Amino acid sequence: MRRADPAAQPQPLRAVVAREEPGSATVLTLGAHMCKWPIGDPATDGFTFCGRQAGEEGPYCVEHARIAYQPQQKKGRSGPSELARSLRRYI
């Protein structure tokens, strides 16, 4: 049985992401019409927002709006949409 070695896990480095890539916006750079879908853990430095062009009807891009407004499948956990709602207080 193999031991899981954290250092051996292949992790794609995405240091600089393109404008249209999810996760390109931070609390500081997030604009009014940018997708506010949280990516990552708010407690870490790597936390970002999607940052893509948000749709007309909500704070998310088309892709994330589809996820946000579909019924939650997992119960007993707070989903990303709930997290986003709490974050909007200081955006």
- Contact positions vs Zn ion (CB under 5 A): 35, 37, 50, 52, 61, 64
Find the shortest distance in angstroms from Cβ 7 to Zn ion. 31
Q: Which is nearer to Zn ion, 1 or 28 (CB)?
A: 28
- Only one residue has tokens 């707070």, namely 78
Q: Which is nearer to Zn ion, 2 or 60 (CB)?
A: 60
Q: Which is nearer to Zn ion, 70 or 76 (CB)?
A: 70
Find the shortest distance in angstroms from Cβ 65 to Zn ion. 8
For the chain, report the end-to-end CA distance as a whole number of angstroms.
47
Tokens of 90: 């200081």
Q: Which is nearer to Zn ion, 64 or 81 (CB)?
A: 64
CA distances 66 to 46, 70, 87, 88, 90, Å, are 24, 6, 19, 19, 24
Find the shortest distance in angstroms from Cβ 34 to Zn ion. 8
Biggest alpha carbon distance in the chain? 52
Find the shortest distance in angstroms from Cβ 68 to Zn ion. 9
